[in-house]
């Protein structure tokens, strides 16, 4: 511990008991004259009187009686210790084991081998001892053999137990004299926020302790006042040495993780872009500038991943319970406002996009994110497609490593009855380019994994390619729309794979499908970069029923050459959707987008004839032709399997009136009979 840190902790303890600095006199003899000066001595815990020392010990006992499950209970270098029979306090002089309290310049955590305690010059460690008799009553202890009450479950260094406020040592001369921590050594770093941490909410009425999870689990954090100092402490706290699967309330770090979960709830409901920016900035590390460098990368701290994982879990709960007001109220995620679900999606998507931004800072720049503003619906250029959406302003470097301002735009989340905005922005990007492509299954899943950071647990084959998606992934794949030059920014090997797995996507079919599924869509891109345009899809309260109806219907629709033909092909097999019937809703949405809107349909899949041609390009086009399916001049029979046997699809409600035009929406809204 540096001298500066030592003074800071001692000053904090003086302040804790309301003790002022000690005024001392210094006398000098100069040229036959006596000069006396008065000055205030720096705070030193060894200067405390007996009553003051006992007051410090008592204050800290009261604090730790209510806060023993926080990770702040682990002892760090410089922790204050006292002897039950001694007259002075001292501090542990430990080693640096390479494990720190914070992810930025944190204090070194101690382990059971750290038994050295500070002694002032030729003095004693703990001053006078009550057990000593005679003229010399000074403490004789110098070497201590063992810490007891260590934390074996959390090890610091090479297999060594950590020390907590419950740890103690015995005096080597008097067995009943105990050496015990008075502070963990961390408290002074929290200053005024110590008694608030990890509760970031500022209450106006009666205070509720942070550990009352029964109260806080159902608390609605919307528009509550927050303490940014506490949020910064949560952001930088080192959780890596703690168990990643903390379940019990008596586990160290449980409540800090719990309050990161609550912070995720606050952010999902938040309608202040300024507060969202301020919180996100608290999760950025301090950039490391080289000696001659004026630019450095801004990196999100590890705890941002914990925050994002919690936001993913809360989003999933919200999407799964859109019709369940009772549940949403019980978990504090219900608002009496229009379409709270859209706001939750937008804020989640913002948190996801933050993980992907190439953010850089200059020495003169203080914040990683300059601002997050609402886009004016009357803005020109690319902004006009993001009216009432979000504009994230930050800095990045260009090809010559000079820093420049950058913007990422995020649209509003809407249940689209059409995709006119998205289609217009595709046109804006395309300009003179002939085609737009969807970058599928290679780069998109890579982006998806980067966002989720969880292992894949679900696999399903679509379009002859194996898709692996994490079960815990909240949203569907982040689809990236790229130009025909869209692989230019990818490394060579991935670029080759991209060329193999790129598909044309029908804009019309995509819009039609979204309107049928009644899904929320949201899209984003960086500056004017067409290759960064990404859209993502989220289910509404109606989506699952609509998809289930569709899956039921296509599993009973068959195509065959004529009534005499024994060979028939089921529509669910033609679309390659059979394997997703029991898969999560988010995966079904992705597979439906792939099967129905990508230019992958062949005559071989429809008719079993590989002729190198295709009468339709997409699954949606095939659905549109089911009323009159003609191949090489021959009309194929399309039938629906019902409880009464197979009937011609022309005799079902699938067709619109007498004109024999199909009504695709009915495949989603009803069961064909």
Beta bridge partners, 128, equal 138
Beta bridge partners, 164, equal 74
DSSP state of 528: T
Phi, psi dihedral angles at 279 (to 5 degrees): -65, -45
| CA nearest to 365, candidates 304, 300, 295 | 295
Give the pLDDT score at 245.
53
Residue-wise pLDDT tens digits, 512-559: 898 899 999 888 888 766 666 778 889 999 999 999 999 999 999 999
* 3-class state of residue 640 by DSSP: strand
Report the percent of the chain where pLDDT is more than 70. 81
Residue 659's pLDDT band (cuts 50, 70, 90): low
For the chain, the structural domain boundaries read 1-195, 202-407, 545-669
pLDDT higher at 634 or 420: 634
Give the pLDDT score at 202.
92
pLDDT at residue 115 is higher than 80: yes
pLDDT at residue 3 is higher than 60: no
Give the pLDDT score at 324.
93
pLDDT at residue 471 is higher than 60: no
pLDDT at residue 144 is higher than 90: yes
- Per residue in 635-661, is it b (16+ CB within 10 Å) or e — as a string? ebbbbbeeeeebeebbebebbeeeeee
Report the percent of the chain where pLDDT is more than 90. 37
CA–CA separation, 505 and 596 (whole Å): 9
Give the pLDDT score at 297.
84
Instruction: Kindly give, in sequence order, each residue whose CB lies less than 8 Å from that of residue 273, ignoring residues fewer than 6 positions away.
Output: 371, 372, 373, 374, 390
Residue-wise pLDDT tens digits, 40-50: 888 888 888 89
CA–CA distance from 288 to each of 285, 293, 370, 443, 466 (Å)? 9, 9, 19, 30, 41
Number of other CB atoms surrounding residue 218 within 10 Å: 12
**Of the ranges 233-237, 368-372, 526-530, 577-581, which one carries the lowest mean pLDDT score?**
526-530
CA–CA separation, 506 and 508 (whole Å): 5
CA–CA separation, 410 and 524 (whole Å): 4
**Of the ranges 175-179, 287-291, 312-316, which one carries the lowest mean pLDDT score?**
287-291
Phi, psi dihedral angles at 589 (to 5 degrees): -60, -45
pLDDT at residue 615 is higher than 70: yes
Residue 581's pLDDT band (cuts 50, 70, 90): confident
CA–CA separation, 80 and 85 (whole Å): 16
Given a contact cutoff of 8 angstroms between Cβ atoms, the answer to whether 518 and 339 are in contact is: no
Give the pLDDT score at 399.
66
pLDDT at residue 436 is higher than 60: no
Instruction: Kindly give, in sequence order, each residue whose CB lies less than 8 Å from that of residue 603, ignoring residues fewer than 6 positions away.
Output: 609, 610, 611, 613, 614, 615, 631
pLDDT at residue 16 is higher than 90: no
- Per residue in 559-578, is it b (16+ CB within 10 Å) or e — as a string? bbbeeeeeeebebbebbbbe
pLDDT higher at 282 or 239: 282
pLDDT at residue 435 is higher than 60: no
CA–CA separation, 597 and 481 (whole Å): 13
Residue 476's pLDDT band (cuts 50, 70, 90): low
**Of the ranges 99-108, 177-186, 196-205, 276-285, which one carries the lowest mean pLDDT score?**
99-108
Given a contact cutoff of 8 angstroms between Cβ atoms, the answer to whether 36 and 27 are in contact is: yes
Give the pLDDT score at 363.
66
Given a contact cutoff of 8 angstroms between Cβ atoms, the answer to whether 218 and 187 are in contact is: no
pLDDT higher at 482 or 671: 671
pLDDT at residue 167 is higher than 80: yes
pLDDT higher at 401 or 230: 230
Q: Please state the rounded mean pLDDT for residues 593-622.
A: 84
Can you give the three-state secondary structure of 403-458, one letter per residue?
EEEEEEEECCCEECCCCHHHHHHHHHHHCCCCCEEEECCCHHHHHHHHHHCCCCCE
Residue 508 is encoded by which pair of tokens?
A: 């019309």
CA–CA separation, 536 and 129 (whole Å): 70
Give the pLDDT score at 283.
94
Residue 349 is encoded by which pair of tokens?
A: 């998507």
Given a contact cutoff of 8 angstroms between Cβ atoms, the answer to whether 198 and 182 are in contact is: no
Average pLDDT, rounded, for the chain: 81
Residue 440's pLDDT band (cuts 50, 70, 90): very low
pTM above 0.95, yes or no: no
Residue 69's pLDDT band (cuts 50, 70, 90): confident
CA–CA separation, 210 and 69 (whole Å): 11
pLDDT at residue 470 is higher than 50: no
**Of the ranges 169-178, 233-242, 640-649, which one carries the lowest mean pLDDT score?**
233-242
For strand 479-483 and strand 371-374, is the pairing parallel, antiparallel, or unpaired?
unpaired
pLDDT at residue 446 is higher than 70: no
* 3-class state of residue 7 by DSSP: helix
CA–CA distance from 565 to each of 11, 558, 568, 571, 590 (Å)? 92, 12, 7, 17, 34
């Amino acid at each position: 511990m540096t001298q500066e840190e030592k003074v800071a902790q001692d000053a904090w303890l003086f302040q804790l008991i309301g003790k002022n600095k000690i005024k001392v006199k210094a006398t000098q003899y100069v040229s036959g004259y006596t000069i006396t000066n008065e000055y205030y001595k720096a705070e030193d815990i060894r200067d405390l009187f007996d009553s003051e020392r006992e007051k410090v010990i008592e204050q800290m006992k009261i604090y730790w009686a209510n806060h023993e499950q926080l990770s702040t209970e682990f002892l760090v270098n410089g922790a204050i210790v006292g002897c039950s029979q001694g007259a002075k306090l001292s501090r542990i002089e430990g080693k640096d084991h390479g494990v720190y309290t914070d992810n930025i310049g944190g204090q070194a955590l101690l382990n059971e081998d750290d038994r050295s305690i500070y002694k002032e010059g030729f003095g004693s460690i703990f001053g006078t001892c009550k057990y000593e008799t005679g003229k010399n009553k000074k403490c004789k202890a110098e070497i201590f053999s063992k810490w007891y009450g260590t934390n074996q479950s959390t090890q610091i260094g090479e297999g060594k137990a950590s020390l907590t406020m419950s740890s103690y040592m015995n005096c080597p001369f008097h067995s009943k004299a105990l050496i015990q921590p008075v502070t963990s050594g961390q408290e002074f770093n929290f200053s005024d926020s110590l008694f608030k941490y990890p509760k970031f909410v500022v209450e106006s009425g009666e205070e509720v302790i942070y550990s009352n999870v029964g109260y806080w689990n159902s608390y609605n954090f919307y528009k509550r006042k927050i303490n940014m100092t506490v949020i910064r402490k949560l952001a930088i706290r080192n959780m890596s040495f703690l168990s990643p699967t903390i379940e019990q309330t008596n586990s160290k770090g449980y409540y800090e993780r719990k309050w990161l979960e609550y912070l995720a709830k606050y952010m999902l409901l938040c309608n202040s872009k300024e507060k969202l920016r301020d919180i996100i900035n608290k999760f950025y590390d301090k950039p490391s500038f080289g000696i001659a460098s004026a630019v450095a990368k801004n990196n999100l701290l590890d705890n941002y991943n914990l925050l994002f994982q919690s936001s993913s879990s809360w989003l999933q709960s919200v999407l799964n319970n859109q019709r369940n007001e009772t549940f949403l109220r019980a978990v504090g995620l219900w608002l009496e406002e229009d379409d709270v679900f859209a706001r939750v999606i937008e804020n989640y998507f913002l948190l996801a996009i933050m993980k992907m931004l190439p953010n850089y800072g200059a020495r003169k720049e203080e914040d990683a994110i300059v601002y997050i503003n609402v886009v004016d619906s009357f803005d020109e250029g690319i902004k006009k497609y993001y009216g009432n959406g979000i504009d994230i302003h930050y800095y990045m470097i260009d090809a010559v490593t000079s820093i420049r301002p950058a913007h990422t735009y995020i649209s509003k989340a809407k249940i689209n009855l059409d995709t006119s905005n998205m289609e217009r922005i595709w046109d804006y990007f395309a300009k003179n380019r002939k085609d737009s492509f969807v970058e599928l299954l290679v780069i998109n899943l890579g982006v998806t994994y980067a966002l989720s950071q969880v292992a894949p647990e679900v696999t399903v084959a679509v379009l002859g390619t194996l898709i692996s998606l994490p079960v815990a992934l909240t949203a569907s794949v982040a689809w990236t729309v790229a130009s025909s030059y869209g692989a230019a920014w990818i490394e060579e090997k991935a670029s080759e794979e991209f060329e193999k797995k790129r598909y044309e996507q029908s804009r019309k079919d995509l819009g039609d499908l979204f309107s049928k599924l009644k899904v929320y869509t949201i899209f984003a891109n960086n500056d004017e970069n067409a290759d960064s345009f990404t859209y993502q899809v989220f289910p509404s309260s109606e989506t699952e029923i609509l998809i289930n109806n569709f899956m039921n219907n296509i599993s009973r629709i068959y195509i065959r050459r004529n009534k005499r033909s024994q060979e028939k092909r089921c529509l669910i097999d033609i679309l390659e959707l059979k394997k997703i019937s029991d898969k999560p809703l988010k995966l079904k949405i992705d597979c439906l987008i792939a099967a129905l809107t990508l230019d992958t349909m062949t005559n071989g899949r429809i008719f079993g004839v590989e002729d190198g041609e295709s009468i339709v390009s997409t699954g949606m086009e095939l659905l549109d032709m089911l009323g009159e399916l003609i191949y090489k001049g021959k009309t194929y029979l399309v039938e629906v399997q019902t409880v009464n046997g197979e009937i011609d699809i022309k005799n079902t409600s699938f067709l619109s009136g007498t004109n024999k035009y199909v009504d695709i929406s009915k495949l989603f809204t009803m069961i064909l009979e």
